[in-house]
Amino acid sequence: MIIGTAGHIDHGKTSLVKALSGVDTDRLKEEKARGISIDLGFAYLPVDGEQTLGFIDVPGHEKFVHTMLAGASGIDFALLVVAADDGVMPQTREHLAIIDLLGISHGIVALTKADLADAPRLAEVSAQIAATLAGTSLEGAGILPVSSATSAGIADLKARLVEAAHHLDHRDAGGRLRLAVDRSFTLAGAGTVVTGTILSGTVRTGDLVKVSPSGRDARVRSIRAQDTPAEIGRAGDRCGLNLAGPSMSRDAIARGDVVLDPALHAPTDRIDALLKVLPGEKKAISQWLPVRFHTAAREVGGRVVLLGDPIAPGGS
Protein backbone atom coordinates (compact mmCIF):
# COMPACT_ATOMS: atom_id res chain seq x y z
CA MET A 1 0.00 0.00 0.00
CA ILE A 2 1.26 3.45 -0.95
CA ILE A 3 0.43 6.13 1.63
CA GLY A 4 0.60 9.80 0.69
CA THR A 5 0.74 12.67 3.14
CA ALA A 6 -1.33 15.80 2.64
CA GLY A 7 -1.79 18.98 4.62
CA HIS A 8 -0.71 22.56 5.34
CA ILE A 9 2.91 23.65 5.62
CA ASP A 10 4.54 23.10 9.02
CA HIS A 11 1.80 20.78 10.29
CA GLY A 12 4.33 17.99 10.83
CA LYS A 13 3.98 15.71 7.80
CA THR A 14 7.69 14.93 7.49
CA SER A 15 8.15 14.51 11.24
CA LEU A 16 5.20 12.12 11.29
CA VAL A 17 6.61 9.98 8.47
CA LYS A 18 9.91 9.85 10.36
CA ALA A 19 8.13 8.81 13.57
CA LEU A 20 6.32 6.04 11.67
CA SER A 21 9.17 4.76 9.48
CA GLY A 22 12.41 6.04 11.02
CA VAL A 23 13.26 7.80 7.73
CA ASP A 24 13.80 11.55 7.33
CA THR A 25 12.35 12.26 3.89
CA ASP A 26 13.84 15.77 3.69
CA ARG A 27 17.02 14.90 1.74
CA LEU A 28 17.87 18.20 0.03
CA LYS A 29 20.30 20.71 1.56
CA GLU A 30 17.80 23.53 1.04
CA GLU A 31 15.09 21.56 2.84
CA LYS A 32 17.38 21.10 5.84
CA ALA A 33 18.31 24.79 5.85
CA ARG A 34 14.76 26.12 5.51
CA GLY A 35 13.07 23.46 7.63
CA ILE A 36 10.36 22.79 5.03
CA SER A 37 9.77 20.14 2.38
CA ILE A 38 10.37 21.30 -1.18
CA ASP A 39 10.41 18.08 -3.18
CA LEU A 40 8.80 14.67 -2.83
CA GLY A 41 10.21 12.45 -0.10
CA PHE A 42 10.01 8.66 0.15
CA ALA A 43 10.13 6.16 3.00
CA TYR A 44 9.29 2.50 3.56
CA LEU A 45 8.06 0.51 6.54
CA PRO A 46 8.27 -3.32 6.41
CA VAL A 47 5.37 -4.91 8.33
CA ASP A 48 4.47 -8.47 9.27
CA GLY A 49 7.43 -9.80 7.30
CA GLU A 50 5.14 -9.99 4.26
CA GLN A 51 4.54 -6.53 2.89
CA THR A 52 6.02 -3.06 2.94
CA LEU A 53 4.15 0.19 3.40
CA GLY A 54 5.43 2.93 1.13
CA PHE A 55 5.19 6.62 2.09
CA ILE A 56 5.20 9.59 -0.28
CA ASP A 57 5.75 12.80 1.69
CA VAL A 58 4.62 15.92 -0.16
CA PRO A 59 5.36 19.64 0.37
CA GLY A 60 2.67 21.69 2.10
CA HIS A 61 3.58 25.15 0.79
CA GLU A 62 1.13 26.63 -1.72
CA LYS A 63 3.99 27.30 -4.17
CA PHE A 64 4.69 23.56 -4.41
CA VAL A 65 1.16 22.29 -5.06
CA HIS A 66 2.32 21.00 -8.46
CA THR A 67 4.86 18.84 -6.63
CA MET A 68 2.15 17.61 -4.26
CA LEU A 69 0.08 16.58 -7.30
CA ALA A 70 3.01 14.65 -8.75
CA GLY A 71 3.14 12.57 -5.57
CA ALA A 72 -0.58 12.24 -4.87
CA SER A 73 -1.46 10.69 -8.22
CA GLY A 74 0.08 7.32 -7.31
CA ILE A 75 -1.20 6.77 -3.79
CA ASP A 76 -3.70 4.25 -2.40
CA PHE A 77 -4.27 5.79 1.03
CA ALA A 78 -4.31 9.41 2.18
CA LEU A 79 -2.70 10.49 5.45
CA LEU A 80 -4.18 13.95 5.97
CA VAL A 81 -2.19 15.88 8.57
CA VAL A 82 -3.73 18.72 10.61
CA ALA A 83 -1.88 20.40 13.50
CA ALA A 84 -3.81 20.77 16.75
CA ASP A 85 -2.54 24.30 17.34
CA ASP A 86 -3.50 25.65 13.90
CA GLY A 87 -6.50 23.54 12.93
CA VAL A 88 -7.72 23.44 9.33
CA MET A 89 -5.75 25.83 7.11
CA PRO A 90 -5.82 26.85 3.40
CA GLN A 91 -3.54 24.07 2.13
CA THR A 92 -5.47 21.56 4.24
CA ARG A 93 -8.51 22.40 2.14
CA GLU A 94 -6.56 22.55 -1.12
CA HIS A 95 -4.87 19.18 -0.57
CA LEU A 96 -8.20 17.64 0.48
CA ALA A 97 -9.80 18.96 -2.72
CA ILE A 98 -7.03 17.28 -4.74
CA ILE A 99 -7.56 14.00 -2.89
CA ASP A 100 -11.28 14.28 -3.60
CA LEU A 101 -10.75 14.99 -7.31
CA LEU A 102 -8.39 12.01 -7.57
CA GLY A 103 -11.09 9.79 -6.06
CA ILE A 104 -8.92 8.57 -3.17
CA SER A 105 -11.51 7.21 -0.73
CA HIS A 106 -9.25 5.47 1.79
CA GLY A 107 -7.53 7.58 4.40
CA ILE A 108 -7.13 8.75 7.97
CA VAL A 109 -6.51 12.12 9.61
CA ALA A 110 -3.52 12.53 11.92
CA LEU A 111 -4.19 15.32 14.41
CA THR A 112 -0.55 16.23 15.00
CA LYS A 113 1.14 18.26 17.73
CA ALA A 114 -1.45 16.86 20.17
CA ASP A 115 1.00 17.53 23.00
CA LEU A 116 0.50 21.27 22.44
CA ALA A 117 -3.27 21.17 22.96
CA ASP A 118 -5.62 20.31 25.82
CA ALA A 119 -8.65 18.05 25.55
CA PRO A 120 -11.17 20.82 24.68
CA ARG A 121 -8.90 22.10 21.89
CA LEU A 122 -8.45 18.59 20.47
CA ALA A 123 -12.23 18.13 20.48
CA GLU A 124 -12.72 21.52 18.80
CA VAL A 125 -10.23 20.82 16.00
CA SER A 126 -11.58 17.27 15.52
CA ALA A 127 -15.07 18.72 14.97
CA GLN A 128 -13.62 21.28 12.55
CA ILE A 129 -11.89 18.50 10.61
CA ALA A 130 -15.03 16.34 10.46
CA ALA A 131 -16.99 19.30 9.05
CA THR A 132 -14.27 19.94 6.46
CA LEU A 133 -14.29 16.29 5.35
CA ALA A 134 -18.08 16.29 4.87
CA GLY A 135 -19.04 15.84 1.23
CA THR A 136 -15.56 14.70 0.16
CA SER A 137 -14.13 11.26 -0.60
CA LEU A 138 -12.70 11.16 2.96
CA GLU A 139 -15.98 11.90 4.73
CA GLY A 140 -16.16 9.86 7.93
CA ALA A 141 -12.42 9.10 8.02
CA GLY A 142 -10.95 8.44 11.45
CA ILE A 143 -9.24 11.29 13.31
CA LEU A 144 -6.35 10.25 15.54
CA PRO A 145 -4.45 12.63 17.86
CA VAL A 146 -0.68 12.01 17.66
CA SER A 147 2.58 13.66 18.66
CA SER A 148 5.85 13.07 16.86
CA ALA A 149 7.64 14.81 19.75
CA THR A 150 6.36 12.47 22.49
CA SER A 151 5.40 9.46 20.30
CA ALA A 152 1.86 9.57 21.72
CA GLY A 153 -0.55 7.87 19.31
CA ILE A 154 2.19 6.81 16.87
CA ALA A 155 1.90 3.08 17.62
CA ASP A 156 -1.90 3.26 17.25
CA LEU A 157 -1.60 5.11 13.94
CA LYS A 158 0.91 2.58 12.65
CA ALA A 159 -1.43 -0.27 13.63
CA ARG A 160 -4.31 1.37 11.78
CA LEU A 161 -2.21 1.79 8.64
CA VAL A 162 -1.20 -1.88 8.77
CA GLU A 163 -4.84 -2.90 9.23
CA ALA A 164 -5.87 -0.74 6.28
CA ALA A 165 -3.20 -2.35 4.12
CA HIS A 166 -4.57 -5.80 4.94
CA HIS A 167 -8.09 -4.80 3.89
CA LEU A 168 -7.25 -2.69 0.85
CA ASP A 169 -7.82 -4.41 -2.47
CA HIS A 170 -4.65 -4.86 -4.50
CA ARG A 171 -4.56 -3.05 -7.81
CA ASP A 172 -5.27 -5.19 -10.83
CA ALA A 173 -1.88 -6.14 -12.30
CA GLY A 174 -3.50 -6.94 -15.63
CA GLY A 175 -3.05 -4.77 -18.69
CA ARG A 176 0.14 -3.29 -20.08
CA LEU A 177 2.90 -1.59 -18.13
CA ARG A 178 2.70 2.11 -17.20
CA LEU A 179 5.10 3.52 -14.61
CA ALA A 180 4.85 7.25 -13.87
CA VAL A 181 8.35 8.61 -13.28
CA ASP A 182 8.78 10.96 -10.31
CA ARG A 183 12.58 10.72 -9.99
CA SER A 184 15.39 10.05 -12.46
CA PHE A 185 19.10 9.91 -11.62
CA THR A 186 22.33 8.06 -12.37
CA LEU A 187 24.30 5.75 -10.09
CA ALA A 188 27.97 4.97 -10.52
CA GLY A 189 28.34 1.48 -11.94
CA ALA A 190 24.62 1.16 -12.64
CA GLY A 191 23.64 4.01 -14.96
CA THR A 192 20.15 5.45 -15.33
CA VAL A 193 17.63 4.76 -12.57
CA VAL A 194 14.01 5.90 -12.50
CA THR A 195 11.52 5.60 -9.66
CA GLY A 196 7.76 5.85 -9.60
CA THR A 197 4.50 4.05 -8.99
CA ILE A 198 3.36 1.35 -11.40
CA LEU A 199 -0.09 2.46 -12.54
CA SER A 200 -0.90 -0.71 -14.49
CA GLY A 201 0.58 -4.00 -15.61
CA THR A 202 3.80 -5.65 -14.50
CA VAL A 203 7.51 -5.27 -15.28
CA ARG A 204 10.20 -7.94 -15.15
CA THR A 205 13.96 -7.90 -15.30
CA GLY A 206 14.99 -8.06 -18.96
CA ASP A 207 11.81 -6.47 -20.31
CA LEU A 208 12.08 -4.08 -23.23
CA VAL A 209 10.27 -0.81 -22.49
CA LYS A 210 9.81 2.61 -24.03
CA VAL A 211 10.03 6.04 -22.40
CA SER A 212 7.17 8.30 -23.40
CA PRO A 213 6.78 10.88 -24.82
CA SER A 214 10.40 10.87 -26.10
CA GLY A 215 10.11 7.36 -27.55
CA ARG A 216 13.51 6.23 -26.23
CA ASP A 217 13.98 2.46 -26.01
CA ALA A 218 15.45 0.76 -22.95
CA ARG A 219 15.90 -2.61 -21.28
CA VAL A 220 15.14 -3.22 -17.59
CA ARG A 221 18.47 -4.25 -16.07
CA SER A 222 17.25 -4.59 -12.47
CA ILE A 223 14.26 -3.78 -10.24
CA ARG A 224 13.66 -2.63 -6.67
CA ALA A 225 10.00 -3.01 -5.66
CA GLN A 226 8.91 -1.42 -2.36
CA ASP A 227 12.61 -0.80 -1.59
CA THR A 228 13.53 -4.49 -1.98
CA PRO A 229 15.49 -6.15 -4.86
CA ALA A 230 12.99 -8.01 -7.04
CA GLU A 231 12.58 -9.75 -10.35
CA ILE A 232 9.09 -8.34 -10.91
CA GLY A 233 7.11 -5.20 -10.10
CA ARG A 234 3.32 -5.06 -10.13
CA ALA A 235 0.62 -2.40 -10.33
CA GLY A 236 0.53 -0.51 -7.05
CA ASP A 237 4.23 -1.01 -6.25
CA ARG A 238 6.69 1.82 -5.92
CA CYS A 239 9.55 0.67 -8.11
CA GLY A 240 13.03 1.68 -9.03
CA LEU A 241 14.09 0.54 -12.50
CA ASN A 242 17.69 0.45 -13.64
CA LEU A 243 17.41 1.09 -17.38
CA ALA A 244 20.03 0.31 -20.02
CA GLY A 245 20.21 1.29 -23.66
CA PRO A 246 22.12 3.45 -26.14
CA SER A 247 19.84 6.44 -25.56
CA MET A 248 19.87 6.25 -21.75
CA SER A 249 21.73 9.09 -20.01
CA ARG A 250 21.40 11.51 -17.09
CA ASP A 251 19.12 13.79 -19.08
CA ALA A 252 17.24 11.14 -21.03
CA ILE A 253 14.31 10.88 -18.60
CA ALA A 254 12.60 13.49 -16.41
CA ARG A 255 9.80 13.64 -13.86
CA GLY A 256 6.50 13.29 -15.67
CA ASP A 257 7.75 10.82 -18.28
CA VAL A 258 6.15 7.38 -18.38
CA VAL A 259 7.98 4.08 -18.75
CA LEU A 260 5.60 1.80 -20.57
CA ASP A 261 4.96 -1.18 -22.76
CA PRO A 262 6.10 -0.15 -26.28
CA ALA A 263 2.61 -0.87 -27.62
CA LEU A 264 1.19 1.99 -25.53
CA HIS A 265 3.51 4.69 -26.85
CA ALA A 266 1.18 7.18 -28.57
CA PRO A 267 1.92 10.80 -27.56
CA THR A 268 -0.94 13.25 -28.13
CA ASP A 269 -1.63 16.93 -27.64
CA ARG A 270 -5.35 16.57 -26.88
CA ILE A 271 -7.63 14.39 -24.76
CA ASP A 272 -11.35 13.99 -24.10
CA ALA A 273 -12.22 14.53 -20.45
CA LEU A 274 -15.15 15.00 -18.09
CA LEU A 275 -14.63 18.20 -16.09
CA LYS A 276 -15.76 18.68 -12.49
CA VAL A 277 -15.58 22.21 -11.10
CA LEU A 278 -15.11 22.53 -7.34
CA PRO A 279 -17.94 24.39 -5.56
CA GLY A 280 -15.46 26.84 -4.04
CA GLU A 281 -14.23 28.13 -7.40
CA LYS A 282 -15.04 31.78 -8.13
CA LYS A 283 -15.61 31.52 -11.88
CA ALA A 284 -17.19 29.15 -14.34
CA ILE A 285 -15.10 27.10 -16.77
CA SER A 286 -15.45 28.93 -20.09
CA GLN A 287 -14.51 28.20 -23.66
CA TRP A 288 -10.77 28.26 -24.45
CA LEU A 289 -9.84 28.75 -20.78
CA PRO A 290 -6.07 28.38 -20.19
CA VAL A 291 -5.33 25.69 -17.59
CA ARG A 292 -2.49 23.69 -16.07
CA PHE A 293 -3.09 20.02 -16.86
CA HIS A 294 -1.78 17.39 -14.43
CA THR A 295 -1.57 13.70 -15.26
CA ALA A 296 0.41 11.30 -13.11
CA ALA A 297 3.64 13.24 -12.41
CA ARG A 298 3.39 15.49 -15.49
CA GLU A 299 2.24 19.12 -15.59
CA VAL A 300 1.69 20.95 -18.91
CA GLY A 301 -0.19 23.97 -20.14
CA GLY A 302 -3.40 23.56 -22.08
CA ARG A 303 -6.76 25.04 -22.99
CA VAL A 304 -10.30 23.83 -22.42
CA VAL A 305 -12.51 23.31 -25.47
CA LEU A 306 -16.06 22.79 -24.25
CA LEU A 307 -18.63 20.75 -26.15
CA GLY A 308 -21.45 22.63 -24.42
CA ASP A 309 -22.19 25.58 -22.16
CA PRO A 310 -19.78 27.00 -19.55
CA ILE A 311 -19.53 24.88 -16.38
CA ALA A 312 -20.46 26.72 -13.19
CA PRO A 313 -18.79 26.04 -9.83
CA GLY A 314 -20.09 22.76 -8.44
CA GLY A 315 -21.07 21.52 -11.90
CA SER A 316 -19.60 19.01 -14.32
- What sections of the chain are H helices per DSSP? 13-21, 29-34, 65-72, 90-101, 119-133, 154-167
Tell me the average pLDDT across 136-164: 96
User: Residue 20 pairs with which residues in a beta bridge?
Assistant: none
Residue 215, Cβ density class (10 Å: 0-12 exposed, 13-18 middle, ≥19 buried): exposed
Q: Taking the domain 2-167, which CATH number applies?
A: 3.40.50.300
- pTM equals 0.86
Confidence of residue 75 (pLDDT cuts 50, 70, 90): confident
Instruction: Write the pLDDT tens digit of every residue in 11-21.
Output: 999 999 999 99
Q: What are phi and psi of 121, to 5 degrees?
A: -65, -40
Q: For the chain, which residues make up each domain, given as ranges?
A: 2-167, 178-264, 273-316
Q: Taking the domain 178-264, which CATH number applies?
A: 2.40.30.10
Instruction: Write the pLDDT tens digit of every residue in 111-141.
Output: 999 999 999 999 999 999 999 999 999 999 9
